Amino acid sequence: MMDEQFAAKLEQRGWNTEEIAHVSHILHDDDKKSNKVRFLDAVMYWAALMVAIFGNMIISIVLIPFLLALRDLLLYTIIVTLGVAFGVLFDLLIRDMDTLGRHHYIIAGLFIPSLAIINVVYMANFANSLTVSLALKNLHSPLLVGAVYTISFIMPYLFSHIMESRKPVARM
C-alpha cells in the first residue's frame, strides 16, 4: 500500500486514481521476485536475527569483567555505550532489508530486546555470584543492569523510527 501522504501529493499534482494505483502496484509488487530471491530474503532476515542473538550473548559475557571491577557511573557508561553501539548495528542491519514485512519488524523488535535483557540479567547474576565467591564488595542489581543495556540497545531503533516518521514526503 502506498503512503497516504505520497498519494495525496500525487493527487494534488493532477494524477488520477488509476495512475496512483498503477504507481503503487509498481512500487510494491513483490510478485516480481523469484522464489530464489524470496528464499534469500528470508535467509538474510533469519541470519540477521542470529547475529543479533549471538552478539547480545557475547556482549553480556564481555560485561562480566566490568561488572566485577567497576561501579556506578563508569560501569553504566560502558553498558550504555555497548548497548547503543550494538543497537545501531542491529538497526542498520534490519532497516536495510527492504523486503521485511511488518510482522518481521515486530518479531525483531520484541524478541531481540527480550533476549537481550534475559542475557544481561543472567550474566549480572553470574557476576554477582563470582563477586560473592571472590569476597568482593561490588554487587549490582541485575534488573537495573539489564534494563540499562536493553533501553540503550533499543534507543537507536526508536530514534530512527521517529526520524523516519518525521521525514517529509519526497516532492515530485
Please provide the DSSP assignment of 59-124 as one string: HHHHHHHHHHH--HHHHHHHHHHHHHHHHHHHHHHHHT-TT--HHHHHHHHHHHHHHHHHHHHHHH
Q: Same domain for 113 and 146?
A: yes
Q: Same domain for 55 and 130?
A: yes
Instruction: Give the integer Cα–Cα distance in Å for 158 and 142.
Output: 24
pLDDT cut 90: percent of the chain above it: 19
Q: Same domain for 20 and 50?
A: no
> Strand, coil or helix: what is 152?
helix
Q: Is residue 162 part of a domain?
A: yes
Q: Is residue 122 part of a domain?
A: yes
Least confident of 23-27, 56-60, 65-69: 23-27
For 107-162, write each residue's pLDDT tens digit: 677 777 888 888 888 888 999 999 999 888 888 899 999 899 989 998 998 888 78
Q: Same domain for 81 and 156?
A: yes
pTM of the model: 0.68
Q: Same domain for 66 and 87?
A: yes
Number of domains in the chain: 2
Q: Same domain for 22 and 96?
A: no
Q: Is residue 16 part of a domain?
A: yes
Q: Is residue 47 part of a domain?
A: yes
Q: Same domain for 3 and 86?
A: no
Domain of residue 7: give its range. 1-32
Own/partner contacts of 60-64, CB < 8 Å, gap of 24 or more, are 60/116, 60/119, 60/120, 60/122, 60/123, 60/149, 61/123, 63/120, 63/123, 63/124, 63/127, 63/145, 63/149, 64/123, 64/126, 64/127, 64/130
